Amino acid sequence: MTISRPVLVALTLTIPVLAGCQFSFSAGGPDYEKLETTMADELNTQYEAISQRVSGVRCPRPDETPKTGDSITCVADLDGSDVRVEATFTSDDYDVDFATIDTVYDLGDTADGLADDISAEYGFDVSVECGDGIKIVEVGSTFECEAADRSGDTRPVVVTAGGPDENDQWEVIE
């Protein structure tokens, strides 16, 4: 592959990521079942673009009533894999902001988007292989795909997961 320099570029993939959302608990204390249902509904809306649905969300039930600024980490089941969601209590009325800690990738769509981005960056067509199915990656963590040019030369492509309101990044490794 005639790629002469490493490049770090923002991905322009249409990967659903749960942006921050706000939800108010009912008066009288936290309603964890309602929070779990709301999270599941929001995730299902986000993951509809990759034809995925969460089967449920589990949140811990702290012994003490949460205070403003307290956080809990809930877990959504997505096709047998865990997607972590952090819920932060933002008021004494049990208002909650929540955002995913993990980014979900449809590996086929990710490979297609990378191929387009890398081809545009380098000025020649490449194909990219990332595997099959979905991949769940902690925000800030990486995974690898492989880019190949027409002659069959290959290079690893490292993808760094962005979070809500952040772009993913990729780098072709020389």
CB 76 within 8 A of CB 83: yes
pLDDT of 4 > 50? The answer is no
Rg of the chain over CA atoms, in angstroms? 19
Tokens 């990378």 belong to which residue?
114
pLDDT band at 30; cut points 50, 70, 90: confident
Predicted local confidence at residue 23, as pLDDT = 54
SS3 148: strand
The secondary element (H helix, E strand) that includes residue 109 is helix 107-122
Mean pLDDT within 25-45: 81
Mean pLDDT within 25-46: 81
Tokens of 44: 């299902």
DSSP tally for the chain: helices H, then strands E: 2, 12
Tokens of 151: 């002659």
pLDDT of 144 > 60? The answer is yes
pLDDT of 103 > 80? The answer is yes
Q: Which has the minimum average pLDDT: 15-19, 27-31, 110-114, 131-135?
A: 15-19
| pLDDT tens digits, one per residue of 146-156 | 999 999 999 99
- Complete DSSP assignment for 51-85: T--EEEEE----SSPP-TT-EEEEEEEETTEEEEE
Cα distances (Å, whole numbers) of residue 70 to 24, 44, 102, 127, 148: 15, 25, 20, 45, 47
Mean pLDDT within 94-117: 91
Give the C-alpha separation, 36 to 21, whole Å.
13
Residues with Cβ within 8 Å of 28's Cβ and at least 6 positions away in sequence, in order, are none
| DSSP-derived secondary structure letter, 144 | E
Q: Tell me the pairing of strands 8-10 and 134-138.
A: unpaired
Mean pLDDT within 70-80: 94
